[in-house]
Amino acid sequence: MLADAKGPSKSGFSSEQITAIIALVGVNALWGLSFPIIKSLNQQMEQGFDLEGMAVSTSLHVAFTSGMIGLRFLIALAIVCLFCPQLVRRARKEEWQAGIVVGLLFYFGLVLQVMGLATIPASRSGFLTSLTAVFTPLFSALVFRKLPSWNVALGVSIALIGVSVLTGLIVLDSQAFGISPDGMSKWTLGDTLTTLGSVLFTGQLLLVDYYGRRLNSAAITPGMFLAVAVAAGLTFLIMHKISLPASQIQSAGTWQIWNFLFLSPIFFGLLVFLALFCSVVAFLGMNKYQPHISAIQASVIYSSEPVFASSWALFLPGILGLLADKFGYPNETLSFPLFLGGSLILLANIVALWPRPERVG
């Protein structure tokens, strides 16, 4: 664990580590906020391209998803260049290279996650994605040949149970207790793709930890955004061309529809909000502050993302509906799995991040 210049106190974390924990919790709150916003953007995109009610192929789904990702991170890169020009100019070659590697891992993890969602329930996808909290200590043990402390291992276990309850993999109610019916189904290609995506997210997390301790961690952000924007743009062009023959969309009209969406104040406004807060602020915060705690502890904090996503979904959809009624969708309701799963994940963070006093002598 990285200590600050003054060193950690004998009873727990240094002030920099406490700041990093608070910052990473805020990062997860912003990532959770992105879920209802992305859902609203997807609805607008589906209506614009007349995809509602269509049997959308995986290639077409990946094409439009990558298009949204590319636009989001292209705007994010423009914001960084405009408002943080010194960060871009002073970034060294090593930091650009590090950012590109981190960005590619992040992007291809997203693509695998989206492809997996085409064939598996969202609950399974959420659970498999949360395996980063398990893979991180395993990979760390293999690479650094050092087992995590007992409290971190316990926190990881509690977080895994909490996410499984939150996502519905484990059913808990007055009539049933156990693994949900879809949890007992046969392992599919979608499960494999989602798990591989989780592995790439773990690699991203570990690389941020590695580069952040050796380079200016915030300076890897521009390279990351550039890599995601370019990779997403190329994926969109390739997958869009493949999917066109099997879809009802004509190539000539595609760009007109994108132009129409950009001229829509609600679509463009939400996209800029997503790029500014859920990309620029969130990833700058991640890249800057994650190296101040261990990668394993960071992975447990990141397990709180679905808690924030579910919490925002309790009221934000209604607000989005007021902005544009035809793109609104119902608020979610507070359920027992949400309360219990969120409480377990909160407990996991407390256990994993509990300060350990230094041994004297």
Q: Which residues of the chain have pLDDT under 70?
A: 1-12, 49-58, 117-127, 167, 172-187, 243-254, 324-329, 355-361
The residue range of the domain holding 100 is 15-352
124 vs 163: CA distance, rounded Å: 10
**Region class of 53: left (phi > 0), else alpha (psi between -120 and 50), else beta:** left
- pLDDT score of 1: 38
Cβ contact 296:99 at 8 Å: no
Q: Is 87 exposed, middle or buried (0-12, 13-18, 19+ CB in 10 A)?
A: middle
- pLDDT score of 175: 63
Residue 336 lies in a domain: yes
- pLDDT score of 326: 58
Q: How many domains does the chain have?
A: 1
Cβ contact 126:163 at 8 Å: yes
Residue 80 lies in a domain: yes
Which residues, in sequence order, are bridge partners of residue 179?
170
Q: Which two tokens stand for residue 40?
A: 């609203």
Q: Work out the end-to-end distance of the chain between its first and last CA atoms, rounded to an integer number of angstroms.
A: 20
* Separation of CA 179 from chain center: 25
- pLDDT score of 348: 84
Residue 1 lies in a domain: no
Residue 134 lies in a domain: yes
Residue 282 lies in a domain: yes
- pLDDT score of 103: 96
pLDDT single digits (tens) 11-45: 467 888 899 999 999 999 998 888 788 878 877 77
Cβ contact 156:352 at 8 Å: yes
Half-sphere exposure of 140 (CA within 13 A, CB side): 26
- pLDDT score of 249: 56
Residue 361 lies in a domain: no
Residue 290 lies in a domain: yes
- pLDDT score of 153: 83
Residue 10 lies in a domain: no
